[in-house]
A and B are shown apart, each in its own frame.
Chain A
């Protein structure tokens, strides 16, 4: 079984990458290359889109699954 840990622990990678993005963005701004900050945000943007697509796909698959299963689980009227 996957190990159980406090919710905050599961968020640590998110916090870590946000720290790194912030630090790099500040550093670049200081040296006058703020135009490169977009390049740092690119990986996050790409993976957020992919994550959203996955969530969308999963929700659709689940909804389709329920629609197929529902008629079989409903007993005909007067069956009892």
Chain B
């Protein structure tokens, strides 16, 4: 019953998003974002459903290779809404960025990547992480899916880091596909390193010992810090709230383990403060202009 109540309005809302994209952003953007996004979401869920076994999708009846198609649709819905919010906050759209990039040389393209696309990327990531709390809480309670190994309100805390990183991987991949001028070796390596890091966390860590784990931390986990200044700050906050704090808490602060409120505070308060400080009037924004108002 609840699925029907949810499914048809969700399909209607999704159609609204496609219509918006088609009318406002054009055919190329829409096809790349929605078809590419579905493929990306499907591949991601395929590996998680068949090799990681984190979720049991018993509440969703239609599955293809073990993946309910509604899950990749949900990813796209979140990413697209996140992008719309981000554009509104920063005051520039992907189409304006595409116009700016027309005929831009390498230096200008790099500048636009740092001043326009990285803020969008970070914003979509933050939005996705926050949405995770809403969706995971609802889905578990409405029996759409079950989380294997955890129960109760703590579940969103265990996966928000994954949600956020997934959005970074997809959004960066989409930017590389849509904006030809930003395709450079540095940005490709940036995407590959971040993706490898994400994969290693979920599919490699558990198979190697403490020494191998330490090496992996050194090689993979911290490498994304060295690509872009703005991203590094955000990633450090993400890494702290999503990986370092939970590990520290498990090792040294037993009383904090499983505390939903503290987990939420540690994960989101630094990210939110990061945004608020950047949008504050007195932030000089010497490296990244977060709005396009000409002073």
Total count of chain B residues near the partner, CB < 8 A: 51
**CB atoms of A3 and B81 under 8 A apart:** no
Q: Which single residue of chain A is at the shortest CB-CB distance from B126?
A: A46
Q: Is the interface of A mostly helix, strand, loop or mixed?
A: helix
**CB atoms of B134 and A40 under 8 A apart:** yes
**CB atoms of B275 and A10 under 8 A apart:** no
**CB atoms of A47 and B20 under 8 A apart:** no
- Whether B293 is near chain A, meaning CB under 8 Å from some CB there, is yes
Q: Which residues of A contact B90 (CB under 8 A)?
A: 54
Q: Which of A1-26 contact B (CB under 8 A)?
A: 1-3, 5, 9-10, 12-13, 15-17, 19-20, 22-24, 26
**Given A2-B95, A56-B281, A60-B281; A36-B88 close (CB under 8 Å):** no
Q: Which of B64-93 contact A (CB under 8 A)?
A: 77, 80-81, 84-85, 88-91, 93
**CB atoms of A2 and B93 under 8 A apart:** yes
Q: How many A-B residue pairs have CB under 8 A?
A: 132
**CB atoms of B281 and A19 under 8 A apart:** no
**CB atoms of A24 and B95 under 8 A apart:** no
Q: Is the interface of B mostly helix, strand, loop or mixed?
A: helix
**CB atoms of A19 and B127 under 8 A apart:** no
A39 to B26, CA, bound (A): 34
**CB atoms of B127 and A43 under 8 A apart:** yes
- Whether B51 is near chain A, meaning CB under 8 Å from some CB there, is no
* A positions within 8 Å CB-CB of B: 1-3, 5, 9-10, 12-13, 15-17, 19-20, 22-24, 26-28, 30-31, 33, 36, 39-40, 42-43, 46-47, 49-51, 53-54, 56-58, 60-62, 64-65
